[in-house]
Structure 1
Amino acid sequence: MTEMSRNLFNYQNNELHFAGSRLSDLSVVSNYQEPVLVYQKSMISERIAWVKSWAKLKQLHFAMKSNYHPEILKLFKNAGCGLDVVSLGEIKHGLECGFSPKDFIFSGVGKTIAEIEFAIDQQIYQINVESAAELRRISEIATRKNKKISIGLRVNPLIETPTHPYISTALKDSKFGIDLNDVPECLDVIRKNPLVEFKCLSFHIGSQILDPLVFKESVEKMKVYFLDLKKQFSNLDRFDVGGGLGIDYKNHDLTLDFDRWNSLKSAYDESLKDFNADVLSELGRFIVARSAVFICQVQYIKNKNMLVLDLGMNNNLRPSLYQAHHHFYNLKKRSETQTNYSLVGPICESSDVFHKNFNLFETQEMDLLVMADCGAYVRSMASNYNLKNIAPEVFI
């Protein structure tokens, strides 16, 4: 890692630099019209390289739901990665971006008949099954079409995860994954239909998890289960550890991200020593979140310290939905004086609030601000609510 890459944001001559680039040099800043997403592609390529350096990893399937911009998908395709998709729309978009059917793992709890038919017709790499009912549907469609399909069973390891409950996916009452008690029913369906090829044991415990030991616990538990299933199903040769590794949205020292990845890799290696299977991963946020910032403008200052922005929950839903933290920076420093502000958006919802108490340098109306860590689950969750525009995206 370079010296500059260790500090994602810094001020030089009172102007904010993002990953080494002075943001005020961009034409979308000098000719500012509306909120705009600015990406650093090199940051994504660097993190893809981090992940692919893991010797035990057979294949990275990028979680497309985190960001589906064609320029970003091209980076993964050029690096030889696959895609983790959750809808027919994502499969078709991936195909349009040059991926082949064998690049797709199809996850998600509500796959329709049309989606399963398309996946089987395309002969994708794998369908990750999330319930016994879904597996019965897959079996029926495979029989009707007389086509084989490779499947993975996404089994719920029942592990508590230190994350927001909306993005925790491994608890007993979660809609995600197959309860261990329901696995025998799934195995019975597989045994009865040779067209359904059981290739993978899959699990995913949640998103935005920072503690590598949580992942180690799930791998240890599911490895034992895999070895037991392998005795019954000789074709079982894939072990999908899912994704879920997060970033610290309040700290932009990138050495901490690098250390977190290395800690996770070491934990996996320790757990999977002498383990013979193709290891798959479905990381998303960890690779792309840091790569983008939102540039926005202060429209009004109310009650002395409430900054009304042109950026709203239509652009970034995460703070309203998850109470997620996104750090803000002044694009230019007027002085060293800091003030505590509330930051709110223009949308006609009381929940359109980014911060209620946040320190910024002295700020005036029409000043530009920068919201950090907008590369994951920001554009992909955006909307035209209040008939606001979808923000333009630029790459540097």
Structure 2
Amino acid sequence: MKTEFLGSGDESAAVDRGRAADGKYGMGVEFADITAAAERIKGRVVFTPCPPSGALSQAAGMSVYCKLEYLQRTGSFKERGACNALLLLSPEQKQRGVIAASAGNHALGVTYHAMLQGIPVTVVMPQTAPLTKVVNCQQMGAHVILHGNNYEEARQEATELGKQEGLTLIHGFNDRAVIAGQGTLGLEVLEQVPDLDAIIVPIGGAGLIAGVAMAIKSRKPEVRVIGVEADHALAYMSALKEGKPVLTKVRPTLADGLAVSKVGENSFQIARKFVDDVVVVKEADIARAVLRLVELEKAVVEGAGAAPLAACLAGLVPELKGKKVVLPLCGGNIDTTILGRVLERGLASDGRLCQFTATISDRPGGLAQFAALVAGEGANVVDIEHDRAFASGDISTVVVRCVVETRDAKHIQTLHERLRKEGFEVAFPKH
């Protein structure tokens, strides 16, 4: 792919040109903006490791390197763009303060770096934002406003409040300085894994993939840049179909960081020039990827950060088999209560947690016989519930709902066949 830059001019002009009074950039972003951002934020954000993972390489069938962005102080890559944007504000803008809308990670990044620079900050977050992100913003001194049921409603509120109170809006994925800051991740990857074949980047508002794709393609156009979206949030795919960003319906997703209903105009114009392909992962794929990262890498990563691995494990990038691939694990801010649910869904998707119903004898010894049979097949009963009121007409039987731990889908099938062979009426989910 031929490398194309948006805009022209020297570095200082590229930085200043188009910077409006409200802190938003115009359409143009150049590679020079990314390299300038890297120098500007050096020492202010973590140069995160990008080690190889033997376990994930074996699971995915490719040579996997993980860029550990969850090790940033606030737990995500968002610090890069936030830090760069704040450093470019005028003294007057810093004195008045800034405002940001975010599902969480951008709010954390802006809050942290605004705190370090003594800039007053207000963040507007949807009411569905993870509690841990809300609390962390408040603890760092941000004025947090919970508004709306999704990011778009929060963004609209932040825009209006910014106008009313004279605050500079730091857009999470459409601000030129933010996009340039996110691109510094790509520069680091090229330094750490110079012979990479591909990088798989999650897409929410498209700010990260826009910056990373421009950074990598500008230096090594032969490297494949692949985006990944959650099937409950297809803003980028919709934009590709329509040729421009459009408002799309977003359903609740395990990857709350990707739950954006409309990608940024600036981000989209850049990404469509540099991104080679986009794949879509299902909720079960995301849950399984979060589980794999906990088990194999001992890493707690949120759904959005696990999306690149989800694409690999789901077999959506077969062309990368045997290739050297970088996966940005771009966020680790997940509520502990939600983590438990995600891991359970991952186990279920993996065939290691199974729910089924069975009709058993309601006479003494009936349950013991059933449980012994399940145990004999190597499955472990985690939960069991009796349903006598809605059982069959035979009052000597009872329906039980069981949750059991199994090894995999094949083990579930073996258990199913054994129970039927022993005369139990059972209903298993399809795998």
Normalised-by-shorter TM-score class? under 0.3
In terms of fraction of residues, the more helix-rich structure is 2
TM-score normalised by structure 2 residue count: 0.26
TM-score normalised by structure 1 residue count: 0.27
In terms of fraction of residues, the more strand-rich structure is 1
